[in-house]
Amino acid sequence: MDENLYQLQTEKRNAASERLDQMSALEIVTLMNEEDQKVALAVKRVLPQIAQSVDMIVRSLSGGGRLLYFGAGTSGRLGILDAAECPPTFGTEPSVVQGIIAGGVKAMTEAIEGAEDSRELGCQDVQEAGVSQKDVVVGIAASGRTPYVWGALQEARTRQAGTISLSCNSDPDIGKSADIAINLAVGPEVVTGSTRLKAGSATKMVLNMLTTASMVKLGKVYQNLMVNVQATNQKLRERAKHIVMQATGVSYAVADRLLAEAAGDVKVAIVMQKTGLAAKAAQERLARVGHKVREAIELI
């Protein structure tokens, strides 16, 4: 038996919820809400480490590298969810941000017994992903000691990739195998050991920050608008028009025309309107400045 497991913050009992099974529904959700308010404060305490991680990710992606999440159970699912949202939101290729879960895709919907306990499997998955020194690997483990994640981080370091650990305990084991350790002190869960609760919420918040801030720095956002959105359905085509309208102040009809001339590319449409350039010239200018709208507009 591993006695040390029960010394982890994520495994301790929460004194406020010891009567949980005797509470009314309103009392339960009120307590959960009170506990959830601690999550944002836990994230706030590690903002410097999150910002350092963003800088590392931006350097990697700017140089043709990738961002890869490795996790087991809830942690792995959250990584896959964040990765899956990047292509539609920021127009990235699916290979640029990837989520890899212990036990493979099947583990997204059902438990794969023993997968998280294998350090060798984590190492193997890093090898199969072809991780190199151009990439950044984020190991996600609420406990901070999941063998699969530890193995993934160690193999990533061997391959000279940038490494980040994301845990919900202080001084986690996996932090020893990472260049940057993000340790979220969210405290004991309302249901003892159920890290899909506060730990899961805190993890989701950090992943949101890692990808969103990185994509902003990479020019996937102009002002606060999703200018790299991929208009793959009617709702997103309408969103693209409204983004052009908000960025330039033109009417719906003009935005529609600009997008038609720009072959649906929101960035090109905005630069066309702001500079008076034709579509091809706007495309060329964007290419010269790394496809960043503000730089393209301000370029003399």
- List active site positions: 85, 116
Q: Tell me how far apart the alpha carbons of residues 132 and 249 are, in angstroms, rounded to a whole number.
A: 44
Cβ neighbors of 13 (< 8 A, separation 6 or more) are: 188, 192
> 140: which strand partners?
71, 166
- CB distance 74 to 141 below 8 Å: no
Q: Tell me how far apart the alpha carbons of residues 104 and 10 are, in angstroms, rounded to a whole number.
A: 25
In the chain, count H helices and then E strands. 11, 5
Cβ neighbors of 21 (< 8 A, separation 6 or more) are: none
Q: Is the dihedral of CA 208, 211, 216, 221 positive or negative?
A: negative
Q: What angle do CA 218, 265, 215 make, to 5 degrees?
A: 15
Q: Residue 224 half-sphere exposure, CB side, CA atoms within 13 Å?
A: 0
Q: Tell me how far apart the alpha carbons of residues 272 and 61 are, in angstroms, rounded to a whole number.
A: 27
> Strand, helix or coil at 167?
strand
Structure token digits, residue 53: 């991680």
Measured torsion, CA atoms of residues 148, 154, 155, 156, in degrees rounded to the nearest 10? 110
